[in-house]
Structure 1
């Protein structure tokens, strides 16, 4: 660990020199700016300026065994906070692959195709993370889940499978919001200003919301599967079976609603108490 002697300027400011090796690794030059951030434990962190702290990824086509794995990696880069994701080919052309990659912008909120060349395609993410609070994203995913769930129950009650027929599309909408939530928690971990803007107060809450995002994603997946099963079998179920499903569904919906309420209000222990309703509210 290196140490530096604190000096004082004529104007009264306190000065300290930066380690040369660190400045060279960060490619800092005279006139560049760095951010100084106070951490929770009182220590200070130095961050390169916003212009230099953008996360960019370069993916070489030949490194991937399939287009599917490349698509998954592009989505992972998005969730890690990348602002640009470049896919290039060492062989000189990726024309056929690009046709399969272009639709991926529909799966990544706020993304676009920035450059499209014979040997390269570049995705750019323009979404402003500070415009989507964690509460807003949680409520939107919860609304989608509740909508799919309710339509499945309506299909069951009316013996009309068509009512639940669009559940898969709303499941895809929930996946897009999940990716944005993970992206936001990643950026919040890097930038304290972003964390504050989206309603995250400390490092512990980043972990809480990351786990919550994954839980909501799984919940959306299972709800879509439930709707699909109802659409397929509702006409074959007996009235007794239907009644049992409806009773269990009421309990499940109540549990989900209370869990979401506790999460939004940051009452993280509310769902673990088993006593009266006053302790949960």
Structure 2
């Protein structure tokens, strides 16, 4: 129902209380009655947003009915979409014999989602419930955790490159699932906060406009984890020895990248805009070093096979630096918006 703007005079009751009457048409449309509570939310521009209560912005329940038209990926994709939309209770029913669909869905729930537990299950259905509250894992804390995981993934990928440790490389790839779990939970938080600004303080964000920047930061860290996994996967295929200085240059570059990633996320937590701006410049300088490493890759034309895999490693590191620069830029945007 669209309502036109309405003017009201501010009145004084008692000695210090200002009162403003609500438009009757709006109150009726919202089913308000005497004794109900309304909530005023101060906005950055000085205005006030009025809502009737901190009700859920989407249904807390969802139902998925899986038939033969669904692939396992379809089931997982729809389940994740309901999870991101804020549903706390998701029921999935399968046609008889769709055991593989159910098995894959359970694996995805276990590997990719924080706080989601299967609370009921039979041959033909599962019921999953999200048990984690938003305030228990504020966005800032989640980003710090994601950044820590990715940093060690990158450092260990270099270690695996040094030692050709296949087991370490495989373990690095497994850690990518942990980053995905935190990323999906962050998106769920941000979507909920956009729909219901009352949740902003619970997740540690000041204004709805910051949600986009926080999403870019989370997505950038998630992509960095993908590239750390890519480097680890390449380790198993590297034949023979590598050109002198290649691994050492890679190690130095990754160490620099990990340092400015941590510095940038600390700048966000401590509201140090100047540090984030400086890190954008440093990221560009590191990118130039990465391009110098690429020259080492193609210097020896007799190493065609090795060059292919080394190029993949260098390319991934270059992308990691670009993502760190994106993170720093969005930290600057957030901090300027808060000032």
State the TM bucket, normalised to the shorter chain: 0.7 to 0.9
TM-score by length of 1: 0.78
In structure 2, how many angstroms separate the alpha carbons of the residues matched to 1:203 and 1:168?
34
**Where does residue 272 of structure 1 map in the other structure?**
280
**Where does residue 179 of structure 2 map in the other structure?**
174
Cα deviations across residues 185-216 of structure 1 (Å, max 9, x unaligned)? 22222344432233211233222111101101
**Where does residue 4 of structure 2 map in the other structure?**
2
Secondary structure in 2 matching 1:58: strand
Contact 1:262-1:271 within 8 A present in 2 as well: no
Contact 1:145-1:223 within 8 A present in 2 as well: yes
Give 1:20 shift: 6.4
Secondary structure in 1 matching 2:41: strand
Contact 2:58-2:85 within 8 A present in 1 as well: no
Change over 3 Å in CA distance of 1:64–1:41 after alignment to 2: farther
Contact 2:90-2:127 within 8 A present in 1 as well: yes
**Where does residue 103 of structure 1 map in the other structure?**
107
Contact 2:57-2:196 within 8 A present in 1 as well: no
Matching of residue 19 in structure 1 with residue 25 in structure 2:
yes
State the aligned residue count. Answer: 272
Give 1:170 shift: 0.8
TM-score by length of 2: 0.66
Give 1:68 shift: 0.6
Cα deviations across residues 63-116 of structure 1 (Å, max 9, x unaligned)? 964221220221122223222233346xx7686343433333312111123444
Select 1:252's aligned residue among 250, 257, 268. Answer: 257
**Where does residue 45 of structure 1 map in the other structure?**
49
Contact 2:39-2:50 within 8 A present in 1 as well: yes
**Where does residue 185 of structure 1 map in the other structure?**
190
The answer for unaligned runs of 5 or more in structure 2 is: 286-327, 329-339
Contact 1:54-1:83 within 8 A present in 2 as well: no
Secondary structure in 1 matching 2:86: coil
The answer for unaligned runs of 5 or more in structure 1 is: none
Secondary structure in 2 matching 1:166: helix
**Where does residue 165 of structure 2 map in the other structure?**
160
Change over 3 Å in CA distance of 1:142–1:62 after alignment to 2: same
Secondary structure in 2 matching 1:122: strand
Matching of residue 55 in structure 1 with residue 63 in structure 2:
no
Change over 3 Å in CA distance of 1:20–1:265 after alignment to 2: closer
Contact 2:8-2:20 within 8 A present in 1 as well: yes
In structure 1, how many angstroms separate the alpha carbons of the residues matched to 2:12 and 2:69?
55
Change over 3 Å in CA distance of 1:139–1:271 after alignment to 2: same
In structure 2, how many angstroms separate the alpha carbons of the residues matched to 1:98 and 1:221?
26
Select 1:228's aligned residue among 218, 229, 233. Answer: 233
Secondary structure in 2 matching 1:203: coil
In structure 2, how many angstroms separate the alpha carbons of the residues matched to 1:17 and 1:121?
46
Cα deviations across residues 209-240 of structure 1 (Å, max 9, x unaligned)? 11101101101111111122124327643444
Q: In angstroms, what is the RMSD of aligned CA positions?
A: 3.6
